[in-house]
Amino acid sequence: MKLHTLLYDFVDIIGAFPTMEAIKLVPTANGLHFYGKSCVSSKVGMFVLEGQAVEPVDGVKSRFGIPHFGQVAKIFKAPGFTRMNASVELDKFTSVSEFEQLVFSSQDGSTYKLSVYGSDLSDQRIKLVKVKAQVSYQVSTTPTKDALSVTKYWLKVSRENGASAVELTPITRGGELLFKTTAAPIFDVEYVVDRSVGGVLTQLMRYDCRLLFSLMSLAPETKQSTLMFSDSGLCRFDVETSCAKYTFLIPANQ
């Protein structure tokens, strides 16, 4: 796989979350693993990302880190850049060992260079966040257009009613999965997002509604996606594209 192909896929998936900044890429024998973490985005801190490319990536022989991923998206959106005419290479600086550079080029002769962390600096600056214990997920669902539509509607109403931060609580009842939000003065808004789930949630956990909606919104444009909730207070979202598999881990707000 070409490096620009994977980075464009990153823009499509990771780029949907402006707070997801630092991305670390680690080549392996079978492909390439990547990791990331967001800035503080909720009451409990950050959410994290881990994933892997479906095949090796040309020209990536060692670890490197992108400290500000948003800059990649800005370069790709420059006039004249398209998925068909862009290329990206990872080059080393001759005088500075801590940094490398991504060189973006298009067929019209445009070139942009972005400084990135080298192997050692990426290890120092982009610390991987691991789940301390094995997590069991009680409920899983594949987001549908109907689920997206109703979640979007109540998120919009909540904002119109003055809510600065909208929280979402997943609930199971009678084999159905419901989301509960507060849209004061309309209280206790509950709506069905899946009419047939196999598990039961026994703990009420609140999550950032805007973040979960952004994750769910990726579903229609990808090969496969699964949203999972745990009684331990962790939400997991798995999404697969033709280029990579992504796993987002989102802690509850309580």
> Which residue segment(s) compose the domain that 224 sits in?
139-251
The yes-or-no verdict on residue 140 having pLDDT over 80 is yes
Does one domain contain both 145 and 202?
yes
In this structure, are 111 and 144 located in the same domain?
no
pLDDT interval class at 35 (50, 70, 90): very high
What's the confidence (pLDDT) of residue 44? 45
Work out the burial of residue 169: count CB atoms within 10 Å of its CB; fewer than 13 is exposed, 13-18 middle, 19 or more buried: buried
For 18-22, 64-68, 174-178, which range has the lowest pLDDT when averaged over its residues? 18-22
> To 10 degrees, the CA torsion angle through 65, 67, 72, 73?
130
pLDDT digits 0-9 by tens, 75-119: 999 988 888 889 999 998 766 678 999 999 988 888 999 999 999
Name the 3-class secondary structure at 155. Answer: helix
Looking at residue 56, its pLDDT comes to 92
Q: Tell whether 134 is covered by a domain.
A: no
Is 132 a member of any domain?
Answer: no
Do residues 13 and 95 both lie within one domain?
yes
Same domain, 164 and 245: yes
pLDDT tops 70 at residue 132: no
User: For the chain, how big is the Rg over CA atoms in Å?
Assistant: 20
Evaluate if residue 45 carries a pLDDT over 60.
Answer: no
Which of 121-134 are b and which e, b meaning 16 or more Cβ less than 10 Å from the residue's Cβ? bbeeebeebeeeee
Q: Is residue 131 a part of any domain in this protein? A: no
Same domain, 156 and 114: no
Calculate what percentage of the chain has a pLDDT beyond 90: 63
Residues 120 and 81 in one domain: yes
User: Would 97 be classed as within a structural domain?
Assistant: yes
What are the beta bridge partners of residue 65?
24, 117
Side chain identity, residue 148: L
> Based on the domain organization, do 78 and 149 belong to the same domain?
no
Domains in the chain: how many in total?
2
State the pLDDT at residue 133: 64
The average confidence (pLDDT) of the chain is 89
Last residue of a domain, one of 125, 155, 170: 125
Nearest by Cα to 70 from 105, 27, 114: 114
The kind and range of the H/E element at 27 are strand 20-27
pLDDT digits (tens, 9 = 90+) for 161-213: 877 778 899 999 999 999 998 777 777 799 999 999 989 999 999 998 888 99
Evaluate whether residue 189 is within a structural domain: yes
> Half-sphere exposure of residue 176, counting CA atoms within 13 Å on the CB side?
11
- Assess whether pLDDT exceeds 70 at residue 7: yes
Specify the CATH number for the domain of residue 33.
Answer: 3.10.150
DSSP 3-state assignment of 53? strand
CATH number of the CATH domain containing 208: 3.10.150.10
**Distance between CA atoms of residues 246 and 35, nearest Å:** 9
Sign of CA dihedral 177, 169, 148, 16: negative
End position of a domain, from candidates 97, 125, 153: 125
